Structure 1
Amino acid sequence: MKKLLLLFLTVSLLVFITACSSDAEGEEPNEDTAGEEQQTEESSESDDNNEEEEATDEKVEAVFWHAMSGGGQESIEAIADNFNESQDKYTIIPEFQGSYEEALTKFRSVGGTEDAPAIIQTFEVGTKYMIDSGFIEPVQSFIDEEGYDISQLEENILNYYTVDEQLYSMPFNSSTPVMLYNKDAFEEAGLDPENPPQTFEEIKEAAEKLTVKDGDNTEKYGFSILNYGWFIEELIATQGGLFVNNDNGRTEEATEAVFNGEEGLRVFELIDDMNKAGTYGNFGSNWDDIRAAFQTEDTAMYLDSSAGVASTIENAPFEVGVSYIPYSEEAERNGVIIGGASLWMSNGIDQEKQQAAWEFMKFLQTPESQAKWHIDTGYFAINPAAYEEDIVQERWEEFPQLKVTVDQLQETKPSAATQGALISVFPEARQQVVTAMENVLQGTDPQEALDQAAEETNRVIEQANRANQ
Structure 2
Amino acid sequence: MPPRLPPRPPPRPAAKPATNAAPSPSVSPDFEISHNLGPEGEKYVQAVVDRFNKETGGNLKLGRLEKNERPAGLNLIHPYEVSDVLTQAKNFIPLYEMMSKAGQPLNAGDLSGDLKAGVVDAKGRLVALPVAYSTPVLFYNKNAFRKANLDPDKPPQTWFEMQGMLDKLQSAGYSCPYATSWPVWVHIDNVSAVSGLPSITEKGVLAFNGLPQVKHIAMMATWTKANYFRHFGRGAEASAKFSSGECAMITTDSREQADFRDAKGVDLGVAPLPYHDDVYGGRQNTLADGFALWIGAGRSAADYKQAAKFVSFMLSPEMQVELVSVYGGLPMTAAARAAARSKLLKEGQATLEVAYGSLKGKGAAQSRHVSDIDPVRIIADEELEAVWANKVPAKAALDTAVSRGNAVLAAKPALKKSQPF
What TM-score does the superposition give when structure 1 sets the normalisation length? 0.73
Secondary structure at the residue paired with 2:76? strand
* Structure 2 runs not aligned, ≥5 long: 1-21, 417-421
Kindly indicate whether residue 132 of structure 2 is the aligned counterpart of residue 170 of structure 1.
Answer: no
1:78 aligns to what? 47
2:267 aligns to what? 319
1:39 aligns to what? none
Q: Distance in 1 between matches of 2:128 and 2:152?
A: 40
Kindly indicate whether residue 192 of structure 2 is the aligned counterpart of residue 236 of structure 1.
Answer: yes
Deviation at 1:163, TM superposition (A): 3.2
Write out aligned runs for 1:273-422 (5 A).
273-285=222-234, 287-288=236-237, 290-331=238-279, 332-389=282-339, 393-397=342-346, 399-408=348-357, 411-414=360-363, 416-417=365-366, 419-421=367-369
Secondary structure at the residue paired with 1:230? helix
Write out aligned runs for 1:210-225 (5 A).
210-212=169-171, 219-225=174-180
Secondary structure at the residue paired with 2:72? coil
Q: Distance in 2 between matches of 1:195 and 1:453?
A: 36
Q: Distance in 2 between matches of 1:57 and 1:430?
A: 44
Kindly indicate whether residue 386 of structure 2 is the aligned counterpart of residue 439 of structure 1.
Answer: yes
Kindly indicate whether residue 217 of structure 2 is the aligned counterpart of residue 268 of structure 1.
Answer: yes
Structure with the larger RCO, 1 or 2 (CA within 8 Å, 6+ apart): 2
Q: Distance in 2 between matches of 1:160 and 1:71?
A: 25
Deviation at 1:457, TM superposition (A): 0.5
Deviation at 1:422, TM superposition (A): 7.8
Secondary structure at the residue paired with 2:262? helix
Deviation at 1:287, TM superposition (A): 2.3
The sequence identity of aligned pairs, in percent, is: 20
Q: Which residue identity lines up with residue 135 of structure 1 in the other structure?
A: N
Deviation at 1:388, TM superposition (A): 4.1
Q: Which has the larger radius of gyration?
A: 1
Question: In structure 2, do the counterparts of structure 1 residues 422 and 259 end up closer, same or farther at CA, with 3 Å as the change threshold?
Answer: closer
Contact 1:67–1:96 (CA<8 Å) still a contact in 2? no
Q: Distance in 2 between matches of 1:168 and 1:86?
A: 26
Deviation at 1:413, TM superposition (A): 2.6
Q: Distance in 1 between matches of 2:399 and 2:24?
A: 61
Contact 2:174–2:248 (CA<8 Å) still a contact in 1? no
Write out aligned runs for 1:44-123 (5 A).
58=25, 60-61=27-28, 62-87=31-56, 91-97=58-64, 103-105=65-67, 108-110=68-70, 117-123=72-78
Contact 1:136–1:345 (CA<8 Å) still a contact in 2? yes
User: More displaced, 226-235 or 265-274?
Assistant: 226-235
Secondary structure at the residue paired with 2:287? coil
Q: Distance in 2 between matches of 1:133 and 1:206?
A: 48
Deviation at 1:380, TM superposition (A): 2.0
Secondary structure at the residue paired with 1:314? coil
Q: Which residue identity lines up with residue 205 of structure 1 in the other structure?
A: G
Which residue of 173, 187, 192 maps to 2:151? 192
Question: In structure 2, do the counterparts of structure 1 residues 282 and 84 end up closer, same or farther at CA, with 3 Å as the change threshold?
Answer: closer
Deviation at 1:200, TM superposition (A): 1.7
2:12 aligns to what? none
Secondary structure at the residue paired with 2:261? helix
Contact 1:363–1:369 (CA<8 Å) still a contact in 2? yes
* Structure 1 runs not aligned, ≥5 long: 1-54, 98-102, 111-115
Contact 2:115–2:133 (CA<8 Å) still a contact in 1? yes
Q: Distance in 2 between matches of 1:72 and 1:353?
A: 24
Q: Distance in 1 between matches of 2:126 and 2:181?
A: 31
1:207 aligns to what? 166
Q: Which residue identity lines up with residue 170 of structure 1 in the other structure?
A: L
Deviation at 1:411, TM superposition (A): 2.4
Contact 1:143–1:149 (CA<8 Å) still a contact in 2? no
Q: Distance in 2 between matches of 1:109 and 1:310?
A: 31
Secondary structure at the residue paired with 1:222? strand
Deviation at 1:352, TM superposition (A): 2.5
Secondary structure at the residue paired with 1:185? helix
Q: Distance in 1 between matches of 2:399 and 2:276?
A: 20
Question: In structure 2, do the counterparts of structure 1 residues 304 and 407 end up closer, same or farther at CA, with 3 Å as the change threshold?
Answer: same
User: More displaced, 397-406 or 354-363?
Assistant: 397-406
Question: In structure 2, do the counterparts of structure 1 residues 359 and 409 end up closer, same or farther at CA, with 3 Å as the change threshold?
Answer: farther
2:90 aligns to what? 134
Secondary structure at the residue paired with 1:304? strand
User: More displaced, 158-167 or 324-333?
Assistant: 158-167
Q: Which residue identity lines up with residue 120 of structure 2 in the other structure?
A: T
Q: Distance in 1 between matches of 2:343 and 2:272?
A: 23
Q: Distance in 1 between matches of 2:309 and 2:286?
A: 30
Q: Distance in 2 between matches of 1:154 and 1:128?
A: 27
Q: Which residue identity lines up with residue 452 of structure 1 in the other structure?
A: T
Q: For each residue in 1:192-237, what CA deviation from the matched residue of structure 2 results, as whole angstroms up to 9, or x when unmatched?
A: 2212111121122221222227xxxx74333222363211212212
Q: Distance in 2 between matches of 1:403 and 1:109?
A: 35
1:21 aligns to what? none
Q: Distance in 1 between matches of 2:251 and 2:406?
A: 28
Q: For each residue in 1:343-397, what CA deviation from the matched residue of structure 2 results, as whole angstroms up to 9, or x when unmatched?
A: 111112223222321221122111011112222212222234234448x634323
1:20 aligns to what? none
Secondary structure at the residue paired with 1:283? coil
Q: Greater helix share, 1 or 2?
A: 1
User: More displaced, 394-403 or 438-447?
Assistant: 394-403
RMSD, aligned CA? 3.0
